[in-house]
A and B are shown apart, each in its own frame.
Chain A
């Protein structure tokens, strides 16, 4: 039974991916992707039902460890090949370094992945699998109509969809493998698979920018790979187990013994695009939207935070935990600050992702049961909301041919449904009683005793509100007196994914109490003495406070429904807006008379605070600070 489920979760996507590549038929591919999605969702739910436990794949004549090792070498060879093509000594060097480490481990140190159990599905892994399989599958479904439109838009002669869907499904399998691995060598393999998939997906469009950005993603992630390889080598040198469960159970470590764990965390930082590694994720937005949706919500970046969160019990109350907390909090503020100056919707989303990942990392660094709960809640809610937002932006981009937030002005009257979804997505990031804010509440309560992190968190939250609100403001802007817009026509899979995600985020938010009590709390209690979080009736409670989710939800719902009904009964007379008395009746309704009695169209735009928040002004100090923080992290352990 279990092996079947795990097979479905990890191996099946690989097979279906390869099938997608070779069976170049639209209908077949469609069938395969839908089947894959259904199977993944089913398997992940089945996994969740079956409870946690370890699993080592049966030998049955296959040496899985060797297979993984071969895979590793193959991947590294691919990276070196890419480096040679690019003529980039950096990439070649980084890949070579890893190869050297791997050769040493495989041939000289003599470990062959015998650590057992190789796979271990605890609560945290199960939650991750659920997110990856459900949100990720929904993204693949969304990609079906999207890629059709996309290829129509960019006019390419031969469809590259087979390749695209291969990597997309591979990605899901690799992610599932990554979060389920107990054996670190296995984890390393899946880690590199996600890197490869990510790089290939970023360069999908094949234009110069895409290729450049894919190489940037490659070398940045290879740094993470090197850090992980370094960590593994060190672990081996220190004669310590190369399995997560044993490492965590091994008790507290001090000083030099923490170094491998710190290196693994740095690997996590690169994947989670923490500063100074944020560049690759920003560059990744050149890829088609489903890729962004996937990278930012359920896969790739989540691998990074997962790794840190997984290791968190191992570095509780140490120097590492302090630094991880600060690095995360710093990223949280810095990315939120940079997002303010962006008008490119995808870039705003990217910075917001970086920022949120920073918060999750920071929570992992705070490393109290409550903070870990906050981190897990955030991973869940962020995945759903972000996927929704990216998908909506993708649809909008196809419709208005732009990702510029300024171009989305008044979009409500053109694409009411998509905008509605987008607004729900954004509100779910910033407003109570939605999940992301509940998580933020938990994290704030968790940090209350940590002044530095708390300060950074408060500032970051304020910036977050600023850039999101600005964005919704642009979307909702309407001219009074215009008739109520009709819903736009969208492909079935779009509507399906939108509605599914929107309903999920709503339901999970309402159910935040049970979610925290029944799902998150056990995951925390597995490694910590207490859950830190609980539920009373439908409310979320912790030691310090309580969040009356249901009552707030009810009241807010009423506050929306009552005026809606009132407005339905009473049609409000539309009229022109106030423009100092010089408004004129025009087709747009927003023109005013000005000099020479001519009419001039009023223009409104959001604020971008070039002077305060521009990248040019802040990146030059933010990146060095982040590098210094990481150096301090390593240095503090070495000396």
Chain B
């Protein structure tokens, strides 16, 4: 479509301003800390970055937002936050269903059938290569 298509993938994507980078290993610890500090989990946003998923976790405390940015390979399992914040189970189930992100320790597992029926295509939100 545009000339950027030819450039290497990694550098192409913008990063949300002020986002704090995080890895799978320290995700749970960081979120636990945020929970202790009284942050609310707003939501998580998943983006399809070709080889990887980019997941933003959005937190809020006293109207100030805090974003955690997690880059993870598509095969890797992401630890679920649903044991820290119960509400995360719905967000994670949605990501699992629409993007195919794998989660470990999901509190309630809809098995990829939260929104979509059994006869629907799976992971419809992934960027499709052909179109």
Interface size class of B (residues with CB under 8 A): under 10
Closest A residue to B120 by beta carbon equals: A597
| Chain B neighbourhood of A597, CB < 8 A | 113, 117-118
Give bound CA distance, A422 to B124, whole Å.
58
Asked whether any CB of chain B lies closer than 8 Å to the CB of A595, the reply is yes
| Chain A neighbourhood of B110, CB < 8 A | 595-596
Closest B residue to A598 by beta carbon equals: B113
Query: What is the 8 Å Cβ interface bit string for chain A, positions 576-605, against chain B (1 contact, 0 not)?
Result: 000000000000000000011100000000
Give bound CA distance, A597 to B117, whole Å.
6
| Chain B neighbourhood of A595, CB < 8 A | 110, 113
Closest A residue to B111 by beta carbon equals: A596
Q: What is the distance, in angstroms, from A202's C-beta to the closest C-beta of chain B?
A: 51
Q: What is the distance, in angstroms, from B16's C-beta to the closest C-beta of chain A?
A: 33
Q: What is the distance, in angstroms, from A225's C-beta to the closest C-beta of chain B?
A: 63
Interface size class of A (residues with CB under 8 A): under 10
| Chain B neighbourhood of A596, CB < 8 A | 110-111, 113
- In terms of DSSP, what is the predominant structure of the interface of chain B? loop
Query: What is the 8 Å Cβ interface bit string for chain A, positions 291-319, against chain B (1 contact, 0 not)?
Result: 00000000000000000000000000000
Give bound CA distance, A532 to B117, whole Å.
72
- In terms of DSSP, what is the predominant structure of the interface of chain A? helix
Within 8 A of A (CB), among B107-127: 110-111, 113, 117-118
| Chain A neighbourhood of B117, CB < 8 A | 597
| Chain A neighbourhood of B111, CB < 8 A | 596
Q: What is the distance, in angstroms, from B96's C-beta to the closest C-beta of chain A?
A: 12
Q: What is the distance, in angstroms, from A146's C-beta to the closest C-beta of chain B?
A: 51
Query: What is the 8 Å Cβ interface bit string for chain B, positions 87-131, against chain A (1 contact, 0 not)?
Result: 000000000000000000000001101000110000000000000
Q: What is the distance, in angstroms, from A165's C-beta to the closest C-beta of chain B?
A: 60
Q: What is the distance, in angstroms, from A388's C-beta to the closest C-beta of chain B?
A: 51
| Chain A neighbourhood of B118, CB < 8 A | 597
Give bound CA distance, A596 to B110, whole Å.
6
Closest A residue to B117 by beta carbon equals: A597
Give bound CA distance, A493 to B2, whole Å.
92
Give bound CA distance, A596 to B117, whole Å.
8
Q: What is the distance, in angstroms, from A591's C-beta to the closest C-beta of chain B?
A: 15
Q: What is the distance, in angstroms, from A551's C-beta to the closest C-beta of chain B?
A: 59
Closest A residue to B116 by beta carbon equals: A597
| Chain A neighbourhood of B113, CB < 8 A | 595-597
Give bound CA distance, A597 to B118, whole Å.
7
Q: What is the distance, in angstroms, from B121's C-beta to the closest C-beta of chain A?
A: 14
Give bound CA distance, A595 to B93, whole Å.
13
Give bound CA distance, A597 to B113, whole Å.
7
Closest A residue to B118 by beta carbon equals: A597
Give bound CA distance, A53 to B10, whole Å.
114
Give bound CA distance, A185 to B118, whole Å.
81
Query: What is the 8 Å Cβ interface bit string for chain B, positions 26-45, against chain A (1 contact, 0 not)?
Result: 00000000000000000000
Closest A residue to B110 by beta carbon equals: A596
Give bound CA distance, A595 to B116, whole Å.
10
Give bound CA distance, A467 to B118, whole Å.
44
Query: What is the 8 Å Cβ interface bit string for chain B, positions 9-33, against chain A (1 contact, 0 not)?
Result: 0000000000000000000000000
Q: What is the distance, in angstroms, from B118's C-beta to the closest C-beta of chain A?
A: 5
Closest A residue to B108 by beta carbon equals: A595
Q: What is the distance, in angstroms, from A59's C-beta to the closest C-beta of chain B?
A: 88
Q: What is the distance, in angstroms, from A593's C-beta to the closest C-beta of chain B?
A: 10
Q: What is the distance, in angstroms, from B120's C-beta to the closest C-beta of chain A?
A: 10
Within 8 A of B (CB), among A591-632: 595-597
Give bound CA distance, A102 to B110, whole Å.
77
Closest B residue to A597 by beta carbon equals: B118
Query: What is the 8 Å Cβ interface bit string for chain A, positions 318-329, against chain B (1 contact, 0 not)?
Result: 000000000000
Query: What is the 8 Å Cβ interface bit string for chain B, positions 62-73, against chain A (1 contact, 0 not)?
Result: 000000000000
Q: What is the distance, in angstroms, from A275's C-beta to the closest C-beta of chain B?
A: 49
Closest B residue to A596 by beta carbon equals: B113
Closest B residue to A595 by beta carbon equals: B110
Q: What is the distance, in angstroms, from A2's C-beta to the closest C-beta of chain B?
A: 81
Query: What is the 8 Å Cβ interface bit string for chain A, positions 17-57, against chain B (1 contact, 0 not)?
Result: 00000000000000000000000000000000000000000
Q: What is the distance, in angstroms, from A171's C-beta to the closest C-beta of chain B?
A: 60
Closest A residue to B112 by beta carbon equals: A596
Give bound CA distance, A595 to B110, whole Å.
7
Q: What is the distance, in angstroms, from A114's C-beta to the closest C-beta of chain B?
A: 84
Give bound CA distance, A596 to B111, whole Å.
7
Q: What is the distance, in angstroms, from A445's C-beta to the closest C-beta of chain B?
A: 61
Give bound CA distance, A597 to B120, whole Å.
11
Within 8 A of A (CB), among B43-78: none
Closest A residue to B109 by beta carbon equals: A596
Q: What is the distance, in angstroms, from A281's C-beta to the closest C-beta of chain B?
A: 49
Give bound CA distance, A595 to B115, whole Å.
9
Give bound CA distance, A595 to B118, whole Å.
11
Binding site for A on B (CB under 8 A): 110-111, 113, 117-118
What would be 7 A-B contacts, judged by CB atoms less than 8 Å apart? Answer: A595-B110, A595-B113, A596-B110, A596-B113, A597-B113, A597-B117, A597-B118
Name 5 extra pairs, CB < 8 A, besides A595-B110, A596-B110, A596-B113: A595-B113, A596-B111, A597-B113, A597-B117, A597-B118
**Ordered nearest first, which 8 A-B pairs have the shortest CB separation?**
A596-B113, A597-B118, A596-B111, A597-B113, A597-B117, A596-B110, A595-B110, A595-B113
